[in-house]
């Protein structure tokens, strides 16, 4: 397999001289199987430059796996040029949301309204298909098996494990480690703590032994207390999770948009020092827009 980062920032695009090294586009990752099937993880603004490179491959079939429906993970989809070109097949995969009763179709239904965008959904010229996913129910794309894993975020968020010919990738989308809503000594604390430990262990088992672990590490441990419950991880939590899962390589991503590249590197270096045990077991890297890795 081969993967390439097209967007590594979180929350809002942050272009400019202070983010030029790591990139300012929001989340998008291109994955190619050994047979060159195209899998795209999330449709942040990074999907727009990806689209430019795909025009030489027409007609194409693209499988877009959405982790969740927050703006920074879908805002590039209306600008994914292949959806407007006849002969292309685009499949958008996303979680079924029990609250709204809708699946992947809602992502485009809402965005492609005249109030928000000048082109309606009915005017897409490609063959556009929606696929609703359920946690732990794997789907296949050619030679690859993609398994959705339910993670912790304020909206339904699916991480994706991709297995292909003995190689594997896992992407969290947005994920905050589960935390106890009770204080020690409160009624319900012990029961809830047991549930948290079961959830964390389930994630470890689902990601066990992956070659590449790509994780939301938006915050430092100093920032996290004031942002608890917002649905994002820290450098430290990601390093420890990757270590416990036995991952070979960890890419920290979803970089805080207000953090310059220099500040990003400083925060990353400090986390590496604090987590020497994890770093000794896992090759830990900062995700960089444009970086490509072949497995």
What is the predicted pLDDT for the residue at 168? Answer: 98
Average pLDDT over residues 271-293: 96
What is the predicted pLDDT for the residue at 98? Answer: 79
pLDDT tens digits, 194-218: 999 999 999 999 999 999 999 999 9
pLDDT tens digits, 160-174: 999 999 999 999 999
pLDDT tens digits, 116-152: 999 888 889 999 999 999 999 999 999 999 999 999 9
pLDDT higher than threshold 80 for residue 22: yes
pLDDT higher than threshold 90 for residue 108: yes
What is the predicted pLDDT for the residue at 21? Answer: 98
Q: Is the peptide bond before 140 cis (omega within 30 degrees of 0)?
A: no
Q: Is the dihedral of CA 265, 271, 277, 278 positive or negative?
A: negative
Distance (Å, rounded) from C-alpha 11 to C-alpha 208? 28
The domain that holds 158 is classified in CATH as 3.60.15.10
Mean pLDDT of the chain: 96
pLDDT tens digits, 46-95: 999 999 999 999 999 999 999 999 999 999 999 999 999 999 999 999 99
Is 292 domain-assigned?
no
What is the predicted pLDDT for the residue at 270? Answer: 98
CB 295, CB 167: distance < 8 Å: yes
Name the pLDDT band for 96 (thresholds 50, 70, 90): confident
- Return the axis-axis angle of helices 235-245 and 261-274, rounded to nearest 10°: 50
Residues 6+ apart with CB under 8 A from 165: 1, 34, 143
Name the pLDDT band for 230 (thresholds 50, 70, 90): very high
Is 294 domain-assigned?
no
Distance (Å, rounded) from C-alpha 127 to C-alpha 133? 19
The number of folded domains in the chain is 1
Domain range for 282 is: 2-287
Is 293 domain-assigned?
no
pLDDT higher than threshold 90 for residue 99: no
pLDDT higher than threshold 90 for residue 227: yes
List the end-to-end C-alpha distance of the chain, in Å, as a whole number. Answer: 5
């Amino acid at each position: 397999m081969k993967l390439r980062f097209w967007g590594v920032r979180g929350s809002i695009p942050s272009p400019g001289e202070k983010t030029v090294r790591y990139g300012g586009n929001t989340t998008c990752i291109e994955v190619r199987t050994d047979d060159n099937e195209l899998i795209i993880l999330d449709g942040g603004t990074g999907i727009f430059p990806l689209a430019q490179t795909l025009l030489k491959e027409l007609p194409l079939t693209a499988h877009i796996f959405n982790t969740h429906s927050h703006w920074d993970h879908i805002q590039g989809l209306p600008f994914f040029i292949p959806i407007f070109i006849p002969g292309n097949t685009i499949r958008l995969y996303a979680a079924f949301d029990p609250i709204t009763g809708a699946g992947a179709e809602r992502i485009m239904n809402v965005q492609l309204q005249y109030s928000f965008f000048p082109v309606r959904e009915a005017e897409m010229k490609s063959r556009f298909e929606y696929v609703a996913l359920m946690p732990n129910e794997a789907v296949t794309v050619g030679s690859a098996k993609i398994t959705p894993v339910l993670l912790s975020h304020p909206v339904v968020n699916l991480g994706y494990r991709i297995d292909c010919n003995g190689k594997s990738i896992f992407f969290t989308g947005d994920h905050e480690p589960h935390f106890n809503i009770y204080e020690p000594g409160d009624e319900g604390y012990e029961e809830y703590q047991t549930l948290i430990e079961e959830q964390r262990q389930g994630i470890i088992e689902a990601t066990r032994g992956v070659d590449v672990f790509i994780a939301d590490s938006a915050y430092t441990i100093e920032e996290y207390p004031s942002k608890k419950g917002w649905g994002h991880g820290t450098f430290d939590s990601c390093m420890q999770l990757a270590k416990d899962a036995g991952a070979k390589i960890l890419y920290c991503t979803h970089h805080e948009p207000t953090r310059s590249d220099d500040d990003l590197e400083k925060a990353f270096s400090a986390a590496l020092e604090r987590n020497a045990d994890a770093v000794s077991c896992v090759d830990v890297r900062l995700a960089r827009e444009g970086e490509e890795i072949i497995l």
